Amino acid sequence: MLKRIVIRKRTLFFGLCTACLTQACSKSDTEPTDTGPIKYVTELFDYQPAPGQFISQSLDNENGARSILRGNQGIVSLGAFGGYIVLGFDHPVINVPDKADIAVYGNSMDNFAEPGVVWLMRDENGNGIPDDTWYEIQGSEFGKPGYVRDYMVTYFKPATDTSDILWKDSSGNEGKIKRNNTHRQLYFPSWIDQDSYSLQGSLLPSTNIDQTNPDFITSAPFVYGYADNRYNGDEIDIADAIDEKGVKVNLPSINFIKIQTGILADLGRLGELSTEITAVEDLNIP
């Protein structure tokens, strides 16, 4: 059975405050204070990375995935193409006309981006979990040569922990997620029991990657619409959401966001291209 880290909402129990250990708590001490919505994502619902050099033990990766909640500025790697994370806000993010609504932060540099595809969902049935329809954000590379919708890659568990990881895609190509000398731990997610697993999404062009000089590989950012793409973070406009036919949809608000590595590329000594995320923010909350 294919396992992945799936997190549902849970109740948290906090210990007594220090003041309450020495004196009786008053009513005002114990009643929660309504501070309003938090502008950063607060819930981790699902995390399924592709194989990669920063993917090892399930607990370590769950902690990494949780570290980006509430603006804590942790970091989580999504691995190679198709690896994804599903996050939720504690409030609806409003689609404000003529402006960006969400910011996604990663660890990209001016000349080295690892773009991820962004998907949005509205809680249409009101049950608080992301089980409605995902809408892709139409970024600058939509429809260009090298962009492929419904692209799928199957990753095969290696014979040993030190072996490269074989992959085959829905276009009949195959290759390897190669190990490097810097990261020697297990690259295949340790919590997956099956001999292989598949990830599907939108493939982005790899034309911005320049490996002419193996000692100085660059990956120029796309113009807009992707995660881990711009040095100072990437602004996402809900108005750029499209349906499965590529048609713009009118979403008055969204509750959930999915981010998924969008490029399948071997970057030589740097390893696989993998999207990393540090925070996700609602830009419409001061």
Domain definitions of the chain by residue range: 37-282
Binned at pLDDT 50, 70 and 90, residue 35 comes out as confident
CA atoms within 13 A on the CB side of 107: 13
Q: Which of 93, 89, 95 shows the shortest CA–CA distance to 128?
A: 89
What would the two tokens of residue 151 be? 């692209």
The pLDDT assigned to 286 comes to 78
- For the chain, what percent of residues have pLDDT higher than 90? 73
The pLDDT assigned to 18 comes to 30
Average pLDDT score over residue span 27-48:
76
Q: Residues with Cβ < 8 Å from 213, sequence gap 6 or more?
A: none
The pLDDT assigned to 151 comes to 98
Terminal-to-terminal C-alpha distance of the chain? 44
- Whether the per-residue pLDDT at 20 is higher than 50: the answer is no
When the pLDDT of each residue in the chain is averaged and rounded to a whole number, the result is 87
The pLDDT assigned to 190 comes to 87
Q: Which range, of 68-77, 199-208, 236-245, averages the lowest pLDDT? A: 68-77
- The CB density around residue 185, as the number of other CB atoms within 10 Å, is 14
The pLDDT assigned to 60 comes to 62
Backbone angles phi, psi at 61, to 5 degrees: -75, -35
